[in-house]
Chains A and B, each alone.
Chain A
Amino acid sequence: MTWMLVCMLCPTVAMASEADPHASVVLAELVYPTIVVPQGSMTLELPLNQYLGTEYLEVPIVFEDDFRIGKYEVTNHLWDRCVADGACVDTEQTRPSGGPFHPVVHVSWHDAYQFSLWLSDITGRSYRLPTDHEWFYAATAGADFRADDRTYDYSQLAEIRKTPKRVWPTGEFGENAWGMSDTLGNVWEWTLSCRSLARNTLLSPVDAAALNDPSACITRIVGGEHRAHVPDFIRDTYSGGCATLRPASNLGFRLILEG
Chain B
Amino acid sequence: MVNRAISTVALVLGLGMTGATAQAAEYAPLKAKDLKNLTRTTQELVAPPFFPEHEQTAGDFKIVEIYLPIEEKKITIDESGTDIWAFTYGGTVPGPMIVVHEGDYLEFTLHNLGSNIMEHNVDFHSATGALGAGGITHVMPGEQVTVRFRATKSGTFVYHCAPGGAMIPWHVVHGMNGAITVLPRDGLSDADGNPIVYDRAYYIGEQDFYIKKDANGKFKSYGSAMESFAEDLQVMGTLIPSHIVFNGAVGALTGDNAMTANVGETVLFVHSQANYDTRPHIIGGHGDFVWERGSFADDPETGLETWFIAGGSAGAAVYTFRQPGVYAYVNHNLIEAVIKGATAHIMVDGEWNDDLMTTVSEPTAVDD
B299 adjacent to chain A (CB < 8 Å): no
Interface residues of B in 118-135 (CB under 8 A from A): 118-119, 130-131, 134-135
Residue of B nearest to A237 (CB): B165
Is A244 an interface residue when CB atoms closer than 8 A count as contact?
A: yes
Question: What are the residues of chain B within 8 A of A51 when measuring CB–CB?
Answer: 130-131, 135-136
**A218 to B, closest residue via Cβ:** B117
Residue A59 CB within 8 A of the other chain = no
Docked CA distance A232–B168 (Å): 16
Main secondary structure of the interface of A (DSSP, over half): loop
Contact A219 B136 (CB under 8 A): no
0/1 string, A215-254, CB within 8 A of B gives 1: 0011100000000010111100111111110000000000
Q: In the bound complex, do residue A198 and residue B166 qualify as a contact, i.e. CB atoms below 8 Å apart?
A: no
- Given A242-B164, A243-B162; A196-B131 close (CB under 8 Å): no
Q: Once the chains are docked, how many angstroms separate the CA of A116 from the CA of B139?
A: 29
Query: Which size class do A's interface residues fall under?
Result: 20 to 34
> How far apart sit A51 and B147, CA to CA, in the bound complex (Å)?
13
Whether a CB of chain A sits under 8 angstroms from the CB of B304 is no
Interchain CA distance A52-B162 in the complex, whole Å:
17
The reply on A17 being an interface residue by CB < 8 A is: no
Complex CA distance for A115 and B112, rounded to whole angstroms: 31
The answer, yes or no, to whether A25 is at the interface (CB within 8 Å) is no
Give the residues from 43 to 79 in chain A that come closer than 8 angstroms, CB to CB, to chain B: 49-52
Report Cα–Cα, A237/B168, bound state, in Å: 12
Q: Which residues of A contact B166 (CB under 8 A)?
A: 234, 238-239
Interface size on B, residues (CB 8 A): 22
Residue B153 interfacial (CB < 8 Å): no
B143 and A243 contacting across the interface, CB-CB below 8 Å: no
Decide if A243 touches B164 in the complex (CB within 8 Å): yes
| A50 in contact with B135 (CB, 8 Å) | yes
What is the CA–CA distance of A50 and B141 in the complex, to the nearest angstrom? 17
B339 at the interface (CB under 8 A from A): no
Q: How many interface contacts (CB-CB < 8 Å) are there between A and B?
A: 63
The listed residue with most A CB atoms (<10 A of its CB), out of B117, B130, B139, B165, is B165
Decide yes or no whether A35 CB sits under 8 A from chain B: no
Complex Cα–Cα for A229 and B118 (A):
12
Q: Shortest beta-carbon distance, A48 to chain B, in Å?
A: 9
B165 and A239 contacting across the interface, CB-CB below 8 Å: yes
Shortest CB–CB separation between residue B124 and chain A, in angstroms?
14
B119 touches A219 (CB 8 A): yes
Which A residue sits closest to B129, measured CB to CB? A51
- Is A194 an interface position by the 8 A CB rule? yes
Q: Which residues of B contact A231 (CB under 8 A)?
A: 118-119, 167, 226
Residues from chain B with a CB closer than 8 A to the CB of A243 are: 131, 134, 162, 164-165, 168
Chain A residues whose CB sits within 8 angstroms of the CB of B119 once the complex forms: 195, 218-219, 229, 231
With both chains docked as a complex, state the minimum distance between the C-beta of B219 and any C-beta of chain A, in angstroms. Answer: 21
Whole-angstrom distance from the CB of A27 to the nearest CB of chain B? Answer: 34
Q: Which residues of B contact A219 (CB under 8 A)?
A: 118-119, 140
| Nearest chain B CB to A118 CB, angstrom units | 22
A16 proximity list for chain B (CB < 8 A): none
Q: Is the CB of B118 within 8 A of A218?
A: yes
- Inter-chain CA distance A244–B168, complex, in Å, is 12
Complex contacts, B141 vs chain A, CB 8 Å: 217-218
Which one, B117, B140, B165, contacts A240 given CB within 8 A?
B165
Q: How far is the CA of A103 from the CA of B113 in the complex (A)?
A: 37
**Assuming A52-B130, A233-B226, A243-B134, is B140 touching A194 (CB within 8 A)?**
yes
- Which residues on A sit within 8 Å (CB–CB) of B168? 243
Q: Is A195 touching B136 in the complex (CB atoms < 8 A)?
A: no
A143 at interface by CB-CB < 8 Å: no
**Given A219-B118, A219-B119, A233-B226, A198–B164 Cβ distance below 8 Å?**
no
Q: Is B352 an interface residue (CB 8 A)?
A: no
- CB nearest to A232 among chain B residues: B226
Q: Which residues of B contact A203 (CB under 8 A)?
A: none
Residues on the B chain within 8 Å of A217, using CB? 117, 140-141
Known: A50-B138, A51-B136, A217-B141. 15 other contacts (CB 8 A): A50-B135, A52-B130, A197-B140, A197-B143, A198-B140, A198-B143, A218-B117, A233-B229, A234-B165, A234-B166, A239-B166, A240-B165, A241-B164, A241-B165, A243-B131
Closest A-B pairs by Cβ, 9 of them: A51-B135, A233-B226, A242-B164, A51-B130, A218-B117, A219-B119, A241-B165, A238-B166, A51-B136
Q: What are 30 sample pairs from A and B whose C-beta atoms fall under 8 A apart?
A: A49-B136, A50-B135, A50-B138, A51-B130, A51-B131, A51-B135, A52-B130, A52-B135, A196-B140, A197-B138, A197-B140, A197-B143, A197-B145, A198-B140, A217-B140, A217-B141, A218-B118, A218-B141, A219-B119, A231-B118, A231-B167, A233-B226, A234-B229, A237-B165, A238-B165, A239-B166, A240-B165, A243-B131, A243-B134, A243-B165
